[in-house]
Amino acid sequence: MDTAQTRDKPVTGPARSVYDAVSDQLTALIPRFGLEAWQPQISQVYEDICRDTLAFPFGTRPDGASRLNQDGTPFQYAVTLGPAPLHSLQFISEAGLTGINLSGAERLRANRACMDTIARRLKAETELSGISGLLDRLAPARNVDLLADPAGAFWIGVSFTAWKEPQIRIYTNAIWGSEKDRWNRLRLFASSFGALEAWQEIERRLAQDMKPLGTAITIGGKNPPSGRIYLTAYGKHMGYYEELAGATSKASFKGILQQFGRCILGDDYIYPTQTAVCSYGFGAGPGVDFKFELCAHCLFASDREAESRLQCWFSIANLAPADYNNLLGVLSEGQLSRSAPELHCYVGVGLKQDNPYSTIYLKPKITA
């Protein structure tokens, strides 16, 4: 769509917004994921988080560029695939990003208020109260460096699953302040989950090669809070990450990660990777779990290629692709791009209870 020409045309009615387009997608996805029982909560939580964030006309770019996606789209979906369909649908965004001209401090307050609202709706007020002090320390409300960061302090995710209570995932920006302060905040985070010693061992192994990216805390679902630390690197061979996986996870995961790399990267497996994200989870089970993700824009020439390589990986790893197929089908409307990865954002692999799983992140297409 030529937005310059569109502005010159007479306005005959209210422009369709990205908020409306994504709302329609969620409406279509709910029955495909068996989430009809959660439809009122999904619709309300989506409104709470995205009412202002996605309040810009479909076919245009938002006023503020979100760091969630390469093209600035301030919204992202995720599905996690295991040996059997999980029917778990996650979306992530933030409150007040567009539609209202907010300062850094106002934006931070808007997101904290939104967290309170959705925690009440999903009956997770006690869990949110329990991590409030940690959020204050990870994102100090008066820190000049944080408030000046255009990425903001928080992103808010919600996950709905047919077979358990919804979960809230609060992501915190770690790319601000001095390098020393960034690593200190990660140590604070790990300590809050009783994992400081384990984290310090991990940090010694990778501090020279990777940079802090962010943290996430998951609450709700009648489970204790769990946490995850995200780090990023660029230009490393897959062998580097395979050694990390072998050192942190069960020995079998090293081979699984190698299979993933060979399938997803194809002939490029022998070359250094571009943007990669390694994350370490605490509190969801015994020990520390390792997860590896690659940027889809760095990997794939198109959504068509992404879909083909991912289906190959799902087959090799014995992962049920139904949730991915359903999400991709709704977002693509049956028309996958052959010229660019318009929908795929990140693809990742981890190990839980000796079984590999993959998380696939996709975004809505907001321009025609």
- The answer to whether residue 114 sits within a structural domain is yes
- The answer to whether residue 2 sits within a structural domain is no
How far apart are the C-alpha atoms of 356 and 362, rounded to whole Å?
A: 20
- The answer to whether residue 356 sits within a structural domain is yes
Which two tokens mark 55?
Answer: 């309040």
Q: Over pLDDT 70: what percentage of the chain?
A: 94
- The answer to whether residue 257 sits within a structural domain is yes
Residue 9 confidence (pLDDT):
40
Mean pLDDT of the chain: 92
Which two tokens mark 258?
Answer: 């190698």
- The answer to whether residue 9 sits within a structural domain is no
Indicate the angle between helix axes 179-192 and 125-138, nearest 10 degrees. 150
Number of structural domains (the chain) is: 1
Quick check: 139 and 115 in contact, CB under 8 A? no
Which two tokens mark 245?
Answer: 């996986």
- The answer to whether residue 367 sits within a structural domain is no
Q: What residue numbers bound the domain in which 91 lies?
A: 15-362
Dihedral class, residue 133 (left if φ above 0, else alpha if ψ from -120 to 50, else beta) = alpha
- The answer to whether residue 66 sits within a structural domain is yes
How far apart are the C-alpha atoms of 169 and 262, rounded to whole Å?
A: 31
- The answer to whether residue 322 sits within a structural domain is yes
301-310 burial code (b ≥16 CB/10 A, e <16): ebbbbbbebb
Residue 99 confidence (pLDDT):
58
**pLDDT by residue (tens digit) across 80-93?**
999 888 889 999 99
pTM for this prediction: 0.93
pLDDT at 21 over 60: yes
How far apart are the C-alpha atoms of 138 and 185, rounded to whole Å?
A: 6
